[in-house]
């Protein structure tokens, strides 16, 4: 028995078993590698789509905010209303912005939208542990920083893009203004980027909070994704990156999809190889019984092994007789009935489309007595199509009979696998092409305005430096025109935003037709455009271009039967200073645009050194005013008012004064115009009113005998919807205060809010006075409508009455009008006692001027009243 087991005839079979086992293990390993690579390629394709969407959405949101940041740099003292107006334009875009906050000195005081975000007002980044590091990092690195996700004070989570804002201060140095924060809604960003798609087919995790890339903390997805050998990609931003990690939905498969079928094929192949070995062994054992038969079979087996055959066949070329073994019989789907097969069986089974090539391959091999190799499809009796590979060699028998002996094996699985791999490769290439196309579209969208298809502010930032440099190299000058539409808001408010959009498209076409290919046109804001062009030694080319633009823009445009008219204001800056940076052109053109608007709009202005000096001086005063408000430098002075008949004090007028740390006490003519531009006149009025109430209570406690205080109130404050609420909180006693309306020109306008506020003020027991009467446009109708308690004649009318009978007659007429309406008459600017005597004779009720007393602070007024009492007593 042992001799049988260790027989030399069994050794080849044992070797074949080892070889087949090694080959099977290697083939299974290679199949697993190919399957894993295909799976990773599929996951990577989906990851690249998500990465592109994340980059496009986040960078698009941040780019929208950069325009607002530029506006803040030019208007660092803007208030909530201006901030909301600018920020609101960004939310018309398709974005994931939740809100935008402005934090001067790192404390949030500006917000859009305000509704739902009130809790964020007053947030100090320096005191917030979660947001302090990112805010300080943005300030110190002077670049935009993406933080998040962070917990918001108003609730929820978001990514926050923080933009440091530096503005030019005195000395042309950069001053840190604060932070503009753009809050990107987490869920909306995830939804827009496809992370929440239920049919995504992969599990995704995001790593790199605060844009720290692979070094950051995971903030999205399951932790097992990162630990499961994921496919990764980096999402790049201007200030950092995120790392995307992804695996298939159910994790990586432990085995390939075709593992068991491949193993079955290899097992069948092994069996087919071993069967000849075993058969050969049996033939060797029986060689004594039939030596020649054993020799023929042994020779056949050796040739079959040489050809790496699985199903063995032999073809007699003289007789055209074909012999199959059982495995070939199985491959061709024939029944194991023991019947012989012939040449017709082989040729008849080949697919008609492959038959000519298969026959030609065989005939060529037979004719050339060479190795035969072919691959073709066969159609089995049940209609199933299989792929077969056939190899054979030519040989001659002992009697010189020519024959072909070879083998065939079923390669259907390999062909299908290769087909799947080719299809997967083509799909991957197609997806990569789509990604490149999507990237190009995203880049175009990021650099162009969606409405006009003009380049946007981001595009302008990219080309500005090169444009100016190119103009300098060509010996010419770069000219920048900053164009702003006039009366555009009126069209939006009356005809709707669709009409406004049509006007913007019209404006862009006008600009493009005038500039053509000789310059660069961009839309950088709601109704703001930039034109870049080149000029030579003089500025006439830029002026001519601006004139044409102004002229064409003022022509009427028809929209749905409505005639729309608007104009443009143009600020022009030319690159005359070769040492200045290209971005300075934007600043200079903006300054010139501001001058054009102040001088009546629908015109153009050039930037000049004198204009810059004026702007710098105005800005310096504006900075000092704002700083003065913070330091409570604005104080109240009081000028007494006297009864014209008894010369007793009947009240005082509260006057705003600026206690400047260097220039001393300044009167409103120095700061009022700039304060109006800063929109802080109402703040100053409020401070004057509050201080006047405190001083009046102190005077009353000391029984100084001052019955009333007059306080100036601007028309802008009368339009404040919260005015009445604030006045009720001050607890003003009835009859002790009166409001002087210093801008009575507005009384002729049909402003329901102003009229309602005035009536409510009267009901609070506060008197209404008209100041500076005779110098404005207040009509008799407005007096009847307002029904003031007092009317103050302006000092310009009072001063000449001593020497001008005509002026006395004018003043007398004003007094008569007031008396007929039951209004008390106050004359200001009473410089001499002669003035006082004449005004008393004309019927004036109250006198105010230097003849009786200058404006003085509260302590000075107290001393003044005390001295008058002492003089009367003596």
Range with the lowest mean pLDDT among 307-311, 716-720, 747-751? Answer: 747-751
Average pLDDT, integer, range 862-870: 88
pLDDT at 422 over 70: yes
pLDDT at 739 over 50: yes
CB atoms under 10 Å from CB of 404, counted, come to 20
Average pLDDT, integer, range 749-766: 80
- Residue 471 near residue 575 (C-beta atoms within 8 A): yes
Answer with the residue of higher pLDDT: 300 or 631: 631
Answer with the residue of higher pLDDT: 178 or 59: 178
How far apart CA 531 and CA 522 sit, in angstroms, is 7
Per-residue b or e along 537-564, where b marks 16 or more CB atoms closer than 10 Å to that residue's CB: eebebbbebbeebbebbeeebebeeeeb
pLDDT at 748: 47
pLDDT tens readout for residues 54-100:
888 888 888 888 888 888 888 888 888 888 888 888 886 577 888 89
| Tokens coding 220 | 């999205």
Indicate the pLDDT class of residue 570, thresholds 50, 70 and 90: very high
How far apart CA 729 and CA 732 sit, in angstroms, is 8
pLDDT at 848: 94
Angle between helices 457-473 and 583-598 (to 10 degrees): 110
pLDDT at 1 over 60: no
String of DSSP letters for 784-847: HHH--SEEEE-HHHHGGGGT-HHHHHHHHHHHHHHHHTT-EEEEE---SHHHHHHHHHHT--EE
| Tokens coding 581 | 């940076």
Average pLDDT, integer, range 321-334: 81
Mean pLDDT, rounded, of the chain: 85
CA R_g for the chain: 47
pLDDT at 53 over 50: yes
pLDDT at 295: 61
pLDDT at 745: 46
pLDDT at 397 over 80: yes
| Tokens coding 695 | 């001083």
- Residue 709 near residue 637 (C-beta atoms within 8 A): no
Indicate the pLDDT class of residue 302, thresholds 50, 70 and 90: low
pLDDT at 309 over 60: no
**CA 717 to the chain's CA centroid:** 35
Q: What percent of the chain has pLDDT over 70?
A: 90
pLDDT at 664 over 90: yes
Average pLDDT, integer, range 362-387: 88
pLDDT at 738: 94
Indicate the pLDDT class of residue 639, thresholds 50, 70 and 90: very high
How far apart CA 534 and CA 547 sit, in angstroms, is 16
pLDDT at 8: 64
pLDDT at 824 over 60: yes
Answer with the residue of higher pLDDT: 91 or 105: 105
pLDDT at 290: 64
pLDDT at 291: 58
- Residue 757 near residue 777 (C-beta atoms within 8 A): no
Answer with the residue of higher pLDDT: 6 or 606: 606
């Amino acid at each position: 028995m042992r001799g049988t087991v260790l027989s030399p005839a069994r050794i080849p079979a044992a070797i074949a078993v080892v070889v087949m086992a090694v080959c099977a293990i290697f083939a299974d390993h290679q199949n697993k590698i190919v399957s894993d690579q295909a799976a990773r390629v599929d996951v990577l394709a989906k990851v690249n789509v998500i990465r592109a969407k994340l980059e496009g959405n986040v960078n698009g949101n941040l780019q929208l905010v950069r325009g607002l940041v530029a506006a803040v740099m030019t208007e660092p003292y803007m208030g909530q209303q201006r901030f909301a107006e600018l920020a609101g334009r960004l939310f018309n875009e398709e974005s994931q912005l939740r809100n935008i906050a402005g934090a001067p000195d790192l404390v949030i005081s500006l917000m859009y939208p305000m509704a739902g975000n009130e809790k964020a007002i007053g947030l100090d980044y320096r005191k917030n542990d979660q947001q302090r590091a990112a805010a300080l990092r943005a300030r110190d690195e002077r670049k935009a920083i993406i933080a998040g996700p962070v917990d918001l004070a108003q609730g929820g989570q978001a990514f926050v893009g923080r933009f440091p804002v530096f503005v030019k201060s005195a000395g042309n140095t950069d001053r840190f203004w604060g932070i503009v924060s753009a809050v990107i809604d987490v869920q909306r960003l995830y939804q827009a980027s496809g992370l929440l798609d239920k049919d995504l087919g992969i599990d995704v995790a995001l790593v790199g909070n605060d844009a720290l890339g692979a070094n950051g903390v995971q903030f999205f997805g399951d932790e097992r994704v990162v630990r499961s050998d994921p496919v990764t990609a980096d999402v790049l931003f201007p200030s950092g990156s995120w790392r995307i990690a992804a695996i298939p939905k159910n994790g990586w498969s432990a085995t390939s999809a075709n593992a068991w079928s491949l193993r079955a094929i290899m097992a069948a192949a092994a069996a087919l190889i071993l069967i000849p070995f075993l058969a050969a062994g049996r033939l060797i054992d029986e060689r004594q019984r039939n030596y020649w038969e054993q020799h023929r079979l042994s020779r056949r087996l050796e040739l079959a092994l040489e050809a790496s055959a699985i199903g063995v066949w032999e073809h007699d070329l003289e007789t055209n007789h074909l012999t199959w073994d059982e495995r070939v019989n199985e491959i061709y789907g024939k029944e194991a009935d023991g019947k012989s097969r012939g040449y017709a069986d082989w040729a008849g089974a080949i697919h008609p489309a492959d038959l000519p090539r298969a026959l030609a391959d065989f005939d060529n091999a037979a004719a050339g007595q060479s190795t035969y190799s072919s691959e073709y499809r066969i159609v089995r009796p049940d209609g199933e199509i299989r792929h077969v590979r056939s190899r054979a060699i030519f040989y001659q028998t002992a009697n010189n009979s020519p024959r072909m002996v070879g083998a065939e094996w079923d390669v259907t699985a390999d062909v299908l696998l290769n087909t799947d791999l080719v299809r997967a490769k083509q799909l991957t290439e197609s997806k990569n092409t789509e990604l490149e196309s999507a990237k190009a579209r995203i880049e175009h969208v990021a650099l162009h305005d969606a409405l006009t298809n003009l380049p946007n502010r981001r595009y302008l930032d990219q080309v500005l430096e090169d444009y100016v440099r190119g103009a300098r190299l060509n010996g010419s000058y770069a000219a920048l025109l900053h164009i702003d539409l006039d009366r555009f808001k009126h069209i939006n408010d009356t005809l709707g935003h669709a009409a406004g959009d049509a006007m913007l498209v019209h404006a862009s076409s006008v600009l493009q037709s005038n500039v053509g290919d000789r310059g660069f046109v961009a839309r950088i804001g709601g109704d703001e455009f930039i034109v870049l062009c080149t000029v030579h030694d003089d500025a006439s080319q830029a002026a001519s271009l601006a004139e044409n633009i102004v002229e064409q823009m003022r022509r009427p445009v028809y929209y749905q039967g409505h005639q729309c008219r608007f104009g443009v204001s143009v600020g022009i800056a030319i690159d005359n200073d070769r040492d200045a940076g290209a971005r300075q052109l934007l600043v200079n053109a903006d300054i010139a645009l501001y001058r054009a608007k102040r001088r009546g709009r629908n015109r153009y202005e050039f930037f000049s050194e004198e204009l810059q000096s004026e702007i710098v001086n105005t800005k310096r005063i504006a900075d000092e005013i704002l700083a003065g408000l913070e330091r409570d430098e604005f104080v109240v002075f009081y000028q007494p008012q006297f009864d014209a008949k008894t010369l007793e004090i009947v009240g005082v007028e509260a006057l705003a004064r600026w206690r400047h740390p260097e220039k001393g006490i300044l009167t409103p003519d120095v700061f009022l115009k700039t304060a109006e531009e800063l929109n802080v006149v109402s703040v100053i009025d409020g401070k004057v009113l509050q201080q006047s109430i405190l001083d009046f209570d102190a005077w009353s406690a000391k029984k100084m005998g001052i019955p009333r205080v007059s306080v100036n109130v601007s028309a802008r404050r009368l339009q404040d919807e919260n005015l009445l609420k604030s006045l009720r909180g001050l607890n003003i006693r009835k009859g002790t205060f009166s409001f002087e309306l210093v801008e009575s020109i507005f009384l002729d306008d049909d402003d329901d809010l102003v009229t309602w506020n005035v009536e409510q003020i009267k009901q609070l027991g506060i008197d209404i006075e008209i100041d500076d009467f005779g110098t404005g446009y207040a009509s008799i109708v407005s007096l009847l409508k307002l029904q003031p308690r007092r009317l103050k004649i302006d000092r310009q009318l009072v001063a000449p009455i001593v020497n001008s009978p005509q002026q006395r007659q004018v003043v007398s007429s004003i007094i008569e009008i007031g008396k007929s309406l039951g209004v008390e008459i106050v004359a200001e600017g009473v410089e001499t006692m002669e003035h006082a005597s004449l005004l008393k004779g004309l019927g004036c009720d109250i006198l105010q001027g230097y003849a009786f007393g200058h404006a003085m602070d509260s302590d000075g007024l107290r001393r003044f009243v005390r001295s008058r009492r002492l003089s009367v007593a003596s």
